[in-house]
Amino acid sequence: MSSKIKIQIVDDDETIVETLTYNLTRHGFEVTAFNNGATGLARFTEVLPDLVILDWMLPDMKGPDICALIRAQAPDIPILMLTGRSAPADIAHGLSQGADDYLVKPFSMVELLARLDALIRRTLKEKARSAKGRIELGTLMLDEDARRVVFRGKNIELAPREFKLLKVLMQNVGKALSTEALLDRVWGTDFDGDVKTVAVHVRWLRQKLEHDAKNPTLLETVHRSGYRLNMPSD
């Protein structure tokens, strides 16, 4: 089972689907695509995506109608509506049916990725707030108030810096964070020690969280980018 953030695309434009699939896969997402609304809805509970990209004009259904049906099943899942309809009334209708964001075709891939990143981060922050200091990613749970981490049903003992590092990574699940960014957020901007301390603490976290610390799947090294925490797979 994949530990990546799963995105479900519902769009009948083959070129757009191929472009999205290629770029999103390159950025670490797991992508599943359907070219009509009925199949997308039927397979939704099987795929259980973390985010949906939805076209407006489909051969069998309208995007806003699909959006409302998805929202009825999954009130908290982020939905980005991707469409050529740019009239204010259309945008308002899409948002009223449950879309979290609305991007008009043709679109920039840079902007799309930025919007997806914002939706994912916003969703995680809302979950964290609603849980009163708890962040839950599948079988990985961090309770800041209780200073407790549970993974796959087991309590994980972490040192203070390990705990803070894991918290930052969980708040940015699926996103690569540079060594410099982690130093600033975990050790503070006035830290003047060895930058290798990040790698050391990542190694310690892997020893406590990974099935195989030498071949990590949860906490990955991203070449020239830093580190990324993936969604736990079980």
Q: Which domains does the chain have, with CATH numbers?
A: 6-126 (3.40.50.2300), 132-229 (1.10.10.10)
* Pair 56, 79: CB distance under 8 Å: no
What does the pLDDT read at residue 130?
52
pLDDT of residue 3: 53
Residue 1, pLDDT score:
35
Dihedral of CA atoms 171, 31, 57, 79 in degrees, nearest 10, equals -20
The segments of the chain whose pLDDT lies below 70 read: 1-3, 125-132, 234
Length reported for the chain: 234
* DSSP letter string, 145-198: TTTEEEETTEE----HHHHHHHHHHHHTTT--B-HHHHIIIII-TT--S-THHH
CA dist 121 and 1 (Å) reads 23
